[in-house]
Each structure stands twice: as C-alpha cells, then as structure tokens.
Amino acid sequence: MANDASAVFDTLSPAVSRGSLADSFTPPADSTLWRKNFLLGAATASYQIEGAVNEDGRLPSIWDTFSAIPGKVLAGDTGAVACDHYHRWEADVEMLASLGLEGYRLSIAWPRVMDAAGVPNRKGLDFYKRLLNRLKEKGITTFVTLYHWDLPQHLEDRGGWLNRDTAYRFADYADLMSRELAGTVDAWATLNEPWCSAYLGYGNGHHAPGLANDRFATQAMHHLLLAHGLAVPVLRANDPASQKGIVANIGRGTPNSDSAADQRAAHLFEVQHNAWILDPLLKGSYPQDLFELWPGTEPLVLDGDMQTISAPLDFLGINYYFRTNVASDGAHGFRDVPLEGVERTQMGWEVYPDGLRDLLTGFKKTYHNLPPIYITENGMASDDQVTDGHVEDTQRISFLKRHLAAVDQAIKAGVDIRGYFLWSLMDNFEWAFGYERRFGVVHVDYSTQKRTIKRSAELVAKFLKERKARA
C-alpha cells in the first residue's frame, strides 16, 4: 500500500530473497534523502569497540565487572579487546572517510578520562583529542555521547544511578570533557538510551550492573535524567558553538486485537518505552500511566528537578530497531505476543520500518516543543560471513533502504529530521550477546582484527558519492 515504507523500496519475504537488492541503494528521485544537508553517518560506542580496558590509566567500568560474571554474557565474551579501536583508530578513521560517511557518532569512556577523585587522565583525554581532531581534518561531523553505559565501577560501588550523587559526578565529567574537547565536537549527547541503563540495568538485570527491581529502575531513570539536565548548561557554557541533546531508544507497541484491553496494553507499552523518557524531557513531568503499570514505584523527586531535566534541547537523538506486538496480561500491564510469518533479524527482532515513521509523526503531534531529530541508531544484526573477500549482507541492504524510506515519509509529514546514523560502523561487542550478533556495515574478524567492507557499506558509499556529484 502507498503509505507502507516497505513498499517504497523492494519488499523481502521473511526468507529474504537475493537478487537486484544487492545492486542498488539509490532512493527514489523525490526522496528528501537527496538533500545535501541531510547528514548520513555511522555510530559506535566506546566499550563496544575500544578494548584496551587496562591501558593508560583506564579504570574498570560496570561492564568490565558484569561481563566477567559467568553466565551474564553469551560465550563469556567481554569488551577487553573488542575491535581494538584504541590502537587501530587511525585506520578506522581512514575507513570511515573512504566510505564517504559524513558524520560519526562515538562515545567517550568515562573510566578512561578521569580517576576516582575526578583528576583528569591525560593519556585518555589525548586519545579522544587525536581521534576528534583527525575526524575534523577529514571533514566528518562529530557527534559525541558522554555516557553509553560504561559507568565507572567506583561510582557503582557507591550506589551507581541509584545514588543521586552520581548525577552531580556526571556534571563534573561533562564539565571536564567540554572544556578539553571544545571546538572538536559538533554535537554533544549527554546520555545514550537511558531506558536501557535504567530498566535493563536496574529493572530486569539483563545489563550491567545486573539489578532487578522496578523501584530501582524508576529511581535510576530519575537520576539519569537529572544528570542530563545538570550537564546541559555546563556544555552550553564550555562549548557554545556545539549542539546539545540526548539520545532515546523508542519502541513501537501494537495491540494483538481490537479489544479495549489489548489497546490499553499497547498504550502502556509505549508509555514505558517512550513517554517515560520523553515526557520528563519535553513536558517536565512523568507520565502517571507509568505508575499504573508499576504501582508504588514513584521516584524521589526534589524541588526543581523537573525544571532541570526539561531544559530546552538543540536536538533529540532517536534510536529505533523493531516493534513489539502486545496483549493485556490480564492485570495492569502487557505481554509480548510474537507474530508468525514476519521478517526477523539475527536478534529475533521483527523488521517493521513503519513503526519508525508512525512514532516520529506521533511525537510531532504529542510534543509541540519537539526539537530537531537525528536518527542516531538504526540497523540490524545478521550472521554475516566473508566469502572470497566479500560480505553480501542482502537483508541489511533492504532493511536500511526501507527504514530510510520511513524517515523520508516522516519528513514529508512535517517532522524535522536532519540526519541518520547507521548502527553500526563495524561489528562489535553486542553487550549481553557478546560477539555473535553482527550489526556492522563493516565485518570484523575478531581473531585477526581484519576489517572487510560489506556490500551494504559499498552501496551507501555509492549513494553518497552520487549525491555529492548532484549537489
């Protein structure tokens, strides 16, 4: 149908057929993606690619601790080596530039740049200075995330995000980084996906630090958002020329039936995944429906907190991967009801590009102060293999094309979307799933650290070259 993002480009069956899809990435002639000011880049995160966890004064993070616990990460994998980016960053920047990617989103490892007393670690800071300066030399727009989940372990030992003081320590960290790196960063994101940090880290224990309590999750979220709010004015003061924002992961929830109970369940799903973060940022309050879902879990909020959290943003980063079909659990919540016969990725996630468009257009209606948006992560995992020096990641090519079509549709519906970052530049440590799940547009052989550019990256590079020629 005409409003289906899957129909804008070739549609794949769940089995993912091969053929002409592998030969083209070019959007339709009327696509807004041809705009020269629409930024197209790739993203990574420090713990997932850097390695060198014990070098040059880096302190342990909660992910070093968590991944060392038997059974927490698939195959016992850790980020100790990862993609060895700490030593191979120069070649990785050359690879990024060779693909013609216009933007690079990276994160800073908090444990690498300051010690437990807050004293700067010059070797760690110099690493990021060299990296960012090289990116600027290449003309690549830099998006820097301050917190992509690798909390220093010494702060977790004092309560982590359950301790209000961690928010103030984050502001100190933001102050140091924005003073040291001012002029090399085009856009600062305070946090990546606070939903994952709060819920997966403190609510169900799937991520570090591995705690499981709904009350912990809501309090951790409050302190994460407070940390964001405290950091924004510091970033503005120290690096006024840069943009300041935050990155939220969003989830599309659809009802399993037309029943009122299932409709309510889908609403509560999106309250928990989206409004829990966006309402405090853009409305200055938590959604009360959240506490219908989790009765008695209201966080401790002090006077002035919500005003701090809801300070204006220059941009909002949006990460989107899949939708969840839900039904009422018969009580106050929802339960997943997986659909049959749909296309899925290696993660088991349903491929549903229309969910991205629908959420973006819905946010425009809900939040009248919605800031400009960058899609800061979108991509998929597949079991990619190198054959005769090539990687034919056909499903990813189709996935990216259809999701970019959904972005185009949202822009045409009036949503101010200014860029899109592929997740990820290269295969990496996929948190609790270790190294089995490959999200990169560049393949990494972890035994040799050899990088092999996948077909998806070749086609993105081809499109960018063509767009530049047309400009």
Q: Facing residues of 334 across strands?
A: 328
Q: What is the pLDDT of residue 241?
A: 98
Measured in degrees and rounded to the nearest 5, phi and psi for residue 104 equal -135, 125
Q: What is the pLDDT of residue 23?
A: 65
Q: What is the pLDDT of residue 325?
A: 98
Cβ-in-10-Å burial (0-12, 13-18, 19+) of 19 comes to exposed
- In sequence order, the 6+-apart residues with CB closer than 8 A to the CB of 340 are none
**Do 129 and 180 touch, CB atoms closer than 8 A?**
yes
* Alpha-carbon dihedral sign for residues 13, 15, 17, 23: positive
Q: What is the pLDDT of residue 4?
A: 55
Q: What is the pLDDT of residue 5?
A: 55
* Residues 102, 135: Cα–Cα separation, whole Å: 10
Residue 83 one-letter amino acid: C
Distances (CA, A) of 86 to 46, 180, 460: 9, 19, 26
In 274-366, where does DSSP find H-type helix? 276-283, 289-293, 305-309, 353-366
Q: Is 55 a catalytic residue?
A: no
Q: What is the pLDDT of residue 276?
A: 98
* Residues 182, 331: Cα–Cα separation, whole Å: 51
Contacts 24+ apart (CB under 8 A), 175-179: 175/234, 175/238, 176/113, 176/114, 176/118, 176/120, 177/108, 177/113, 177/144, 177/146, 178/234, 178/235, 178/238, 178/239, 179/238
pLDDT digit of tens for each residue in the chain (471 aa)?
A: 335 554 433 333 333 333 444 567 889 999 999 999 999 999 999 999 999 999 999 999 999 999 999 999 999 999 999 999 999 999 999 999 999 999 999 999 999 999 999 999 999 999 999 999 999 999 999 999 999 999 999 999 999 999 999 999 999 999 999 999 999 999 999 999 999 999 999 999 999 999 999 999 999 999 999 999 999 999 999 999 999 999 999 999 999 999 999 999 999 999 999 999 999 999 999 999 999 999 999 999 999 999 999 999 999 999 999 999 999 999 989 999 999 999 999 999 999 999 999 999 999 999 999 999 999 999 999 999 999 999 999 999 999 999 999 999 999 999 999 999 999 999 999 999 999 999 999 999 999 999 999 999 999 999 999 999 998
199: tokens are 């819920």
Residue pLDDT, tens place only, 8-37: 333 333 333 334 445 678 899 999 999 999
Q: Which of 377, 392, 430, 466 is catalytic?
A: 377
Scored b (16 or more CB within 10 A) or e, 310-321 reads bbebebbbbbbb
**Do 376 and 317 touch, CB atoms closer than 8 A?**
yes
**Total domains present in the chain:** 1
In 16-76, where does DSSP find H-type helix? 46-49, 62-67
For residue 288, the enclosing domain spans: 5-470
Residue recorded with tokens 């010059």: 122
Find the CATH number of the domain harbouring 135.
3.20.20.80
Q: What is the pLDDT of residue 22?
A: 53
* Residues 188, 246: Cα–Cα separation, whole Å: 8
Q: Facing residues of 373 across strands?
A: 316, 417
Model confidence pTM above 0.85 = yes
Q: What is the pLDDT of residue 332?
A: 85
Q: What is the pLDDT of residue 1?
A: 32
384: tokens are 């990619």
Q: Facing residues of 445 across strands?
A: 450
* Residues 338, 344: Cα–Cα separation, whole Å: 11
Neighbours of 425 (CB within 10 A): 30
